[in-house]
């Protein structure tokens, strides 16, 4: 994808988020996301946080370089990343990434429904 605007829209839609929902999660006004997706903002200050919420590589989001998805790397001390993940969480993340997008959406809806029944 050629532009930040197109990459952001792709990543947001892949996660099944509206512009408003993404804005809420990254603590921005919905208009900020609209401006980025319209191509009016080339280097948003919040690109790292947006990438984190969308589960994509910030370098890919901003520049179109590198892998789309953030890799989970195993190190001698454990798993490298923003937060330590249990072995079970890493296994689930790997399974999730192996699913086609349509199945991810269905699985996310199922998980959200399960969480609502637990409340």
Residues 7, 99 contacting (CB under 8 angstroms):
no
Measured CA to CA, the distance from residue 76 to residue 10 in angstroms comes to 34
Q: What is the pLDDT of residue 93?
A: 75
CA dihedral 33, 39, 40, 41 (to 10 degrees): 70
CA atoms within 13 A on the CB side of 43: 1
Domains annotated for the chain, with CATH where assigned, are 4-63 (1.10.260.40), 73-118 (no CATH)
For residue 91, give both structure tokens.
Answer: 């296994």
Tally Cβ neighbours within 10 Å of residue 31: 12
Q: What is the pLDDT along the chain (119 residues), one digit of tens a residue?
A: 799 999 999 999 988 899 999 999 999 999 999 999 999 987 888 888 999 888 888 888 999 988 787 655 544 444 444 445 566 776 777 777 777 878 888 988 998 888 888 76
pLDDT of residue 57: 86
| DSSP bridge partners of 69 | 56
């Amino acid at each position: 994808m050629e532009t930040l605007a197109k990459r952001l829209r792709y990543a947001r839609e892949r996660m099944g988020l509206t512009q408003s929902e993404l804005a809420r999660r990254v603590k921005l006004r919905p208009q900020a996301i609209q401006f980025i997706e319209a191509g009016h903002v080339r280097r948003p200050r919040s690109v790292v946080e947006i990438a984190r919420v969308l589960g994509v590589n910030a370098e890919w989001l901003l520049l179109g370089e590198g892998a789309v998805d953030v890799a989970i790397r195993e190190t001698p001390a454990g798993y490298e990343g923003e937060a330590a993940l249990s072995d079970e969480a890493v296994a689930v993340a790997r399974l999730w990434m192996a699913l086609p997008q349509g199945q991810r959406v269905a699985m996310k809806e199922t998980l959200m429904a399960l969480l609502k029944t637990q409340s």
